[in-house]
Amino acid sequence: MTQLWHLTRANLAKEYIELKRYYPNTISMIFTFYFIFLAMLLGIHVIGDPQQIETNVQYVIVNYVIWFFMLTIMQDLGYVILMEAQRGTLEQLYMSPLGMWKVLLARIVSNLVIYGIIVSVLLVLSMWTADEWLIFRLDVVLPIFIVTTLGMIGVGFMLAGLAIIIKQIQSFLNILQFILMGLAFVPISVAPYLVFAPFVKGIDMVRHVMIHGYTWVDFTALDYTALILNSVFYLILGIFIYLRAEKLAMEKGLLSQY
């Protein structure tokens, strides 16, 4: 446990240093997010129903911020494999006595902390720009969101496994952002079958808390069961797929190839 803590702390420092060192890229990422949000906000006011503007704006704020967070977290592990392979350091990471999957887990936990802070700032900025303030119930939102991120981590491991075998998956990662947008924006009430998709249930619950003011008692036991089982299932499935892909890559000698 001590080794894992040091590994996570080292990765946290690494991610912070990279964001600080390449600050033009970091700033452009934040501004890109903000300007896209402004464009969506303008679209709502121009072509949206005037009677539903307040609700629509709140809906866009929550969904767009969550989508940005999902995108950065889940794509990260795939890009980690690609970047380390390009740099020629991928095999060195595999020499870690803790195992590569723990290195990746520490990397994604570090990103959860860093991008969690960035997204929180962007959320406040978005609400200030739209002059629509959501309901902050951290005692409800935070536990639900933490459980939801388990499913996100699982999908991230799936992408990492795919990157180990195929290497060039940039086009797939670009397509993924639109798939994630659909999962983030479509409510379960419209498409009930999405409850089986990763992290959608958690997003739907967070949306109910921040827009409609739901508390713990407003959700049923079935809601909590679906949330926990879904997140744990995709986390385990993601790690399993990654480990199988890693074993296959080692057997075929694909780690050193790019």
Contact status, residue 159 vs residue 177, Cβ threshold 8 Å: no
Flag whether 258 is in a domain. no
pLDDT digits (tens, 9 = 90+) for 67-110: 888 888 777 777 777 777 777 777 777 777 777 888 888 888 88
State residue 148's pLDDT score: 92
Of 64, 23, 29, whose CA–CA distance to 43 is shortest?
Answer: 64
Position 117 pLDDT exceeds 60: yes
**Contact residues for 204 (Cβ-Cβ < 8 A; gap 6+):** 187, 188
| 151 domain residue, yes or no | yes
Instruction: Give the pLDDT score at 216.
Output: 92
Structural domain for 96, as ranges: 2-252
Give pLDDT tens digits for 165-176.
887 777 777 788
Q: Whole-prediction pTM value?
A: 0.85
Asked, for residue 246, whether it belongs to a domain, the answer is: yes
Percent of the chain, pLDDT > 70?
A: 94
Tokens of 88: 């020629």
Cα 133–chain centre separation: 23
Residue 137 lies in a domain: yes
Does any domain span residue 257?
no
Count: domains in the chain: 1
